[in-house]
Amino acid sequence: NAGVTQTPKFQVLKTGQSMTLQCAQDMNHNSMYWYRQDPGMGLRLIYYSASEGTTDKGEVPDGYNVSRLKKQNFLLGLESAAPSQTSVYFCASSNQGRYSNQPQHFGDGTRLSIL
């Protein structure tokens, strides 16, 4: 009963390096989300995907890209990492819709440090 699985759990990068954070869900949810969590700022939405093949910007999309090629996977990319992107990243999934308000299910997070 995995739910939402994020890899890696920890990562240290140098400024300018690129990487991809991976997220997989096994609940057949339509929607998937990427958040970042910073002290004193709560959770902020980076990107979301309402269905396979579609993605949209959230509150803080700059410096990130995403892809949703398969329903169960949602990838978050950092093309050129910056120290300001040091954060804890959470992936979530749900069957939320305009008239359906199911809760989001979260992975355990990826702790990313940019030096």
**Which residues here bind another protein, judged by CB under 8 A?**
4, 31, 40-43, 45, 48, 50, 56, 58, 90, 92, 96-98, 101, 103-109
Q: Which is nearer to another protein, 78 or 107 (CB)?
A: 107
Which tokens in the block code for residue 79?
């093309």
Q: Which contacts qualify for 79-86: CB closer than 8 Å, 24 or more apart?
A: 79/18, 80/16, 80/17, 80/18, 81/13, 81/14, 81/15, 81/16, 81/17, 81/18, 81/19, 81/114, 82/15, 82/114, 83/15, 83/114, 83/115, 84/114, 85/36, 85/112, 85/114, 86/112, 86/113, 86/114
Q: Which is nearer to another protein, 4 or 75 (CB)?
A: 4
Q: State the minimum distance, in angstroms, from the CB of residue 113 to another protein.
A: 14
Q: Which is nearer to another protein, 81 or 109 (CB)?
A: 109
Q: State the minimum distance, in angstroms, from the CB of residue 108 to another protein.
A: 4
Q: State the minimum distance, in angstroms, from the CB of residue 95 to another protein.
A: 11
Q: Which is nearer to another protein, 19 or 88 (CB)?
A: 88
Q: State the minimum distance, in angstroms, from the CB of residue 107 to another protein.
A: 6
